Structure 1
């Protein structure tokens, strides 16, 4: 007999029934005693109450979450406060409060609840092998301006209309009643036998009010837990220009550099994702890594000279798992439906250089990069790396940034094998070493970049960069672009800023107005030539094509004062805000 005191009178009915059922069980045995004690514990009672309130909140419009990205909104507020924190103590206090880990943990918990990342995920109930009756479920959804959030297809083996996918966060997903693999028998009382997905779409478009589905549930395909993976997109995508997407209205458009929350990778060709920070909870379709890599490979084979990095929308393989095209560039023979679906020139060598290997870099196929937030740590500031074409002004920006606070912003002293001049000081102008010593250190991988000029070796030591970081300074580098392969590591965690020139006419106009001196000629001071201006544009485009996936930020150096202001803001963010970095850097 299980004794229940008066304190359990308001317990959850499910707990009460479980306790009552123990009366029919022989009380002897440790397992029964343990279960009885567990079901009467205050901790379990409190957890059940919290769960019930969360579930009830989702059914009550008064408590429906206004957004599911409170953490992202807070980061936007932090960025705004950074510009005004010095105005008053209240702003400064609010800035510190919002950066406290306990407050951010609350926001993360809020977002997890808003995204319904708390439901238990139990194994599917197996169907009875000897049960000859087919289980049917009736699902009713209210039609509104919001798409129902599911796609359908014709099953290749049976010819039946089935649910191809359910979009995370959509109406169908929130109902918890429609799953991928469910067979559609009727829609609003109309049989879909021998009908195509387009026919079903017409039925849905002509329906008003409540839509009733008669479905045969698929027991072999249950729902999947929402993924926590975040990726940075390394290309632009417009679903309206993609002829192979199962439904254009289900597509998610994004720009290069956007951070995407991948909520499902169940489909080999089409992932479900949201833009990080979006207030829309319904996910959209994006090409998977495998699909996009195939497209880029096909594009490069078709046009190896392409330099703009624009993604190909013509695939050499099956473009979607719902219905695969038979030829690389032919339209898909059958469309799935969303429920409902609305209608080089040679670049002049610079002093600091490493062996060029564009063939290796060309093999990089940038699609998505898994990322995670890296939180700033006091005394360990990420290096700021300025990269750009020769003549674009990155070295001048580096000098001006350092001049704003020479004790804070520091550039490493370069190494050289050339003889020391009388006016030079070892360790201040250069670190002078023998050629043999420098060649050995280069072979040992101790230099992030190195090169030879007039028979002498020059280079930047990785140890000198780390020494600046360990001393609490902000290391500022402006290496040759191919040094990025050595710099962008989990050991250094750099923040890479691409310095881009303005359009050619503005480049010429601004440099002439500023009486800028050419950096292509080391022997004499003169103005840039027209060919050199063109070289800057062409080289910049090539750098962006080969290494753009590494860049954290882009600054157009149209006017030095404006570019410096943007650079200072970027330097502040690196020191004070959590930023997205390759996931391997924080593991």
Structure 2
């Protein structure tokens, strides 16, 4: 199509038509191939359609015919979802709105609205370079008012030049909010004191002795000064106290946290020290935390040191340090293997494998509940702690809602048993084949017979719209914690020794270490239960969504019901791979 034809066609933008016409004048400046490519691009219907849309949107915005009320509607929608999640059980309208706002089409519409409101459709052109005399050094003067809040910047000595430079700007800190101090800026003076030849500690001493306004004389860095916060959230799998970390660049800038807390990683520019703030403290200044790579190296080093020093005891001892015995117990907790119990152990159980897993941070996102699809409730705990009894009471409360999968076994059917009610009876050859094929989330052998729970049994309950309740051996976490099942895992914990013994004796609890359940627990069994609880917490504590201390069955059941209700109705943090 010629330029004249484009000008005559109303669907083509007149500016593009003029550009095509002007190409004839540039034939001597560029190659024929480049001109031909550019002409085809300008004449394409797709480009003209985009330019027309852009022009109309720009004109509407310029004439203020439909000025946006806000430019953050997608964030407002997320805040509304948070509020609605607490009220879905009250009003059907709230429930309908809750699921409507989660639809991808609605969220895409809101995101498009924000893009237009923020005028993201305008082309972003680079700044015009300013010619500066190379012999003249640019210097900027920055003044900050000193308060109880740290300045939010760290400094270091440049290894090549020996000069003091800004090493890090903490997101949300005073230096960051000023917008005037950037990473890489060279520090020349602080409050009129020349810092040439001084160390970072000398500069910090000057800052500590300063009162009121602090004046910096800086040479701007060549890099861009802007910092963009990332949107990554992680769940911490370890405790961290910067006061006890001798290697942190600045203890005052550190952020302490405990295992299980959700952290917003706002900066990962440094390979060793990330910047983060707690998700529950969104307005606070970011702090330094060890990066995943640094923390992994520390854990590996600690394990290597233990092995080098000969700390290679049994797997139980190396997994979890033995807790001191209770005051009223004369039996020291040992690392002997457990007695024979009526519990299914995975055939390929291996604590050493789990001990070698390095748990640092896990990226998480909010997992919103879906109508008619319930997350499996998984109760994990030490043998004898009462998780099976809690499961039985929960299912008995509403058998139409809560279901447990029927286990498989290779033993013969006993009088009064009905296939599919107590057990699903199969041959040993078939079960061994299915176990090898990975069809069981847990399996084990007891008195010469195989027992196990099939993954398909769990999926069938979930797909039928019921809440699947499980109380497997803790090794089953590896098979259950998948994006397909999205389980809500609760650790049923033991109370302290005295409380554990008193409550079990008061309720005349029968020992699960005895086949006939004909006697109570011994002190040694109570100690083994506590030790197993600590061992499970050490190995898998970072996988648990909740903890319930079972020192009273009625109270523990009420707490369990609250947890189940949360899993059904509230958006909760879960691995990001489950949400994508």
User: Shorter-chain TM-score: what band?
Assistant: 0.7 to 0.9
Q: 4+ residue runs of structure 1 moved beyond 4 angstroms?
A: 25-31, 33-42, 47-50, 52-55, 69-82, 92-100, 102-106, 118-130, 304-310
Instruction: Name the residue aligned to 1:389.
Output: 382
The whole-number CA distance in structure 2 between the counterparts of 1:190 and 1:75 is 54
Instruction: Name the residue aligned to 1:10.
Output: none
The verdict on how the C-alpha distance between 1:72 and 1:510 changes in structure 2, with shifts beyond 3 A counting, is: farther
* CA displacement at 1:299 relative to structure 2: 2.2
Other structure's SS at 1:348 match: coil
Of 558, 570, 576, which aligns to 1:577? 570
The whole-number CA distance in structure 1 between the counterparts of 2:237 and 2:63 is 44
Instruction: Name the residue aligned to 1:46.
Output: 61
Instruction: Name the residue aligned to 1:242.
Output: 245
CA RMSD of aligned residues (A): 3.9
Q: Give the 5 Å matches for 1:332-411.
A: 344-349=335-340, 350-354=342-346, 355-411=348-404
* CA displacement at 1:142 relative to structure 2: 2.9
Instruction: Name the residue aligned to 1:101.
Output: 101
C-alpha contact (below 8 Å) 2:182/2:221 kept by paired residues: yes
Other structure's SS at 2:354 match: helix
Deviations 1:508-566 (A, max 9, x none): 01111111111111134110011000000011111111111211111111111111111
C-alpha contact (below 8 Å) 2:85/2:98 kept by paired residues: no
Deviations 1:167-216 (A, max 9, x none): 11112112222111111111232221112222222332343443322211
The whole-number CA distance in structure 2 between the counterparts of 1:47 and 1:563 is 62
Deviations 1:458-504 (A, max 9, x none): 11010010000000001011111111111111221111111110011
Instruction: Name the residue aligned to 2:234.
Output: 231
* CA displacement at 1:41 relative to structure 2: 4.8
Other structure's SS at 1:575 match: helix
Moved more, 429-438 or 470-479: 429-438
Q: Give the 5 Å matches for 1:342-491.
A: 344-349=335-340, 350-354=342-346, 355-491=348-484
The whole-number CA distance in structure 1 between the counterparts of 2:493 and 2:304 is 28
Other structure's SS at 2:384 match: coil
Instruction: Name the residue aligned to 2:327.
Output: none
User: With structure 1 as the length reference, what TM-score do the two structures score?
Assistant: 0.77
Instruction: Name the residue aligned to 1:302.
Output: 305
C-alpha contact (below 8 Å) 2:85/2:571 kept by paired residues: no
Other structure's SS at 2:392 match: helix
Mark the structure with the bigger radius of gyration. Answer: 2
Instruction: Name the residue aligned to 2:549.
Output: 556
Other structure's SS at 1:147 match: coil
C-alpha contact (below 8 Å) 2:261/2:278 kept by paired residues: yes
C-alpha contact (below 8 Å) 2:344/2:451 kept by paired residues: yes
* CA displacement at 1:74 relative to structure 2: 7.0
* CA displacement at 1:95 relative to structure 2: 7.5
User: With structure 2 as the length reference, what TM-score do the two structures score?
Assistant: 0.78
Deviations 1:124-181 (A, max 9, x none): 9989798232222222333333222111112222211110100111121122221111
C-alpha contact (below 8 Å) 1:167/1:284 kept by paired residues: yes
- Structure 2 unmatched ranges of 5 or more: 1-18, 24-38, 312-316, 323-334
Instruction: Name the residue aligned to 2:259.
Output: 256
Instruction: Name the residue aligned to 2:15.
Output: none
The whole-number CA distance in structure 2 between the counterparts of 1:120 and 1:185 is 38
C-alpha contact (below 8 Å) 1:124/1:219 kept by paired residues: no
Instruction: Name the residue aligned to 1:176.
Output: 179
Moved more, 195-204 or 386-395: 195-204
- Structure 1 unmatched ranges of 5 or more: 1-24, 58-64, 311-343
